[in-house]
Amino acid sequence: MPSYAVTGTSRGLGLEFVKQLSLAPSNTVFALVRNPSSATSLNQLAAQHPNLHIIQADITDPQSLVAAAAQISSSTNGTLDVLINNAVSTNTAVAPLLPSQIPLDVAGTQDFFKAATDSALYGAIWTTNAFLPLIEKGNAKKIVHISTGIADPKVIKGTGIANVVDYAVAKGAMNVLVAKYAAELEPKGIKVVAISPGWVDTWEGEKPAEVGEFIRFTLEHFRKLWPDLKGQLTPEESVKMVLEVVEALSPEQTGFMVSHHGDENWI
């Protein structure tokens, strides 16, 4: 009976991960979410699937992750097969800014990167370390961090997308962290990988004008590298492909960022 823990499951990709994983009755799925009481869609899903369990955890709070790991351990006899770290936070106010617009003061720069680094970098460390004792005793021994193709310097140069600095830099740092963990854990048979899920439409409800404009801007720039690109993937499409990559994960892929195709095609 494979066991999975997924972070950031209240909406978007995280919700879709636990939705697809819980469809198989043989899977035991733990959905980590910061505020379970307000995660309406997740609670509705859990009511339909007895193999889906909601666990309170905040990836920016190490002790909450330790408590979550202990709670899961008590249900799985101390093991976990696959950890999927999906949760991330960003400061939407700084997304349009270019690197030359990062303020020339310590507090301002720290604030610029805080939300992204606290979740994508520090959160990746704390989540991995909290669950590592369980992964070591699992059968699959896989740790997956959801990353992004826009952290690839080739994509940044090729598309000319100079904004969204905080998110791209934090995910780029996380990719290096993945390689470091892989170097340490490969002798134990543990695979650690970063996976870009593609360009996915995770917006819920009607899109505000500024969101629509950002999507048009991104599509225009992405077409410099991928001229035939039509638009975004749905969460269902993306997660299905990512889970196929996770299932087939090879020793050669550990330590690297791969796409939802299992290669370096980020779209």
* Mean pLDDT value of segment 153-165: 97
CA distances 186 to 62, 65, 122, 146, 250, Å, are 24, 23, 21, 19, 12
Q: How many Å apart are CA 169 and CA 225, to the nearest integer? A: 20
Whether 50 is in a domain gets the answer yes
Q: How many Å apart are CA 21 and CA 92, to the nearest integer? A: 30
**pLDDT category of residue 78 using cuts at 50, 70 and 90:** very high
Q: How many Å apart are CA 242 and CA 196, to the nearest integer? A: 8
Whether 216 is in a domain gets the answer no
Whether 97 is in a domain gets the answer yes
Q: Name which of 147, 113, 142 is nearest 128 in CA terms.
A: 142
The structural domain count of the chain equals 1
Whether 223 is in a domain gets the answer no
The CATH number of residue 11's host domain is 3.40.50.720
Instruction: Please answer whether residues 96 and 166 qualify as being in contact, where contact means their C-beta atoms are separated by less than 8 angstroms.
Output: no
pLDDT at 169: 98
The SS3 of residue 30 is: strand
Whole-structure pTM value: 0.96
Residue 68 has pLDDT above 90, yes or no: yes
- Which one of the listed residues 141, 171, 181, 191 is annotated catalytic? 171
pLDDT at 1: 79
Whether 213 is in a domain gets the answer no
Neighbours of 220 (CB within 10 A): 13
Q: Name which of 248, 242, 263, 257 is nearest 19 in CA terms.
A: 242
**pLDDT category of residue 263 using cuts at 50, 70 and 90:** very high
Whether 228 is in a domain gets the answer no
Q: Name which of 118, 240, 129 is nearest 185 in CA terms.
A: 129
Residue 233 has pLDDT above 90, yes or no: yes
pLDDT at 211: 87
Whether 134 is in a domain gets the answer yes
Whether 266 is in a domain gets the answer no
Q: Mean pLDDT across the chain, nearest whole number?
A: 97
Instruction: Please answer whether residues 146 and 200 qualify as being in contact, where contact means their C-beta atoms are separated by less than 8 angstroms.
Output: no
> What would the pLDDT profile of 85-134 be if each residue is shown by its tens digit?
999 999 999 999 999 999 999 999 999 999 999 999 999 999 999 999 99
> What would the pLDDT profile of 18-59 be if each residue is shown by its tens digit?
999 999 999 999 999 999 999 999 999 999 999 999 999 999
* Consecutive H or E run containing 167: helix 165-185
pLDDT at 151: 97
Q: How many Å apart are CA 254 and CA 194, to the nearest integer? A: 8
Active-site residue, 240 included: no
Helix, strand, coil % over all residues of the chain, rounded to 5: 50, 15, 35
* Mean pLDDT value of segment 57-65: 98
- Which one of the listed residues 4, 114, 141, 167 is annotated catalytic? 167
Q: How many Å apart are CA 265 and CA 244, to the nearest integer? A: 15
pLDDT at 205: 81
Active-site residue, 167 included: yes
pLDDT at 25: 96
Domain carrying residue 9: 3-205+234-259
> What would the pLDDT profile of 4-19 be if each residue is shown by its tens digit?
999 999 999 999 999 9
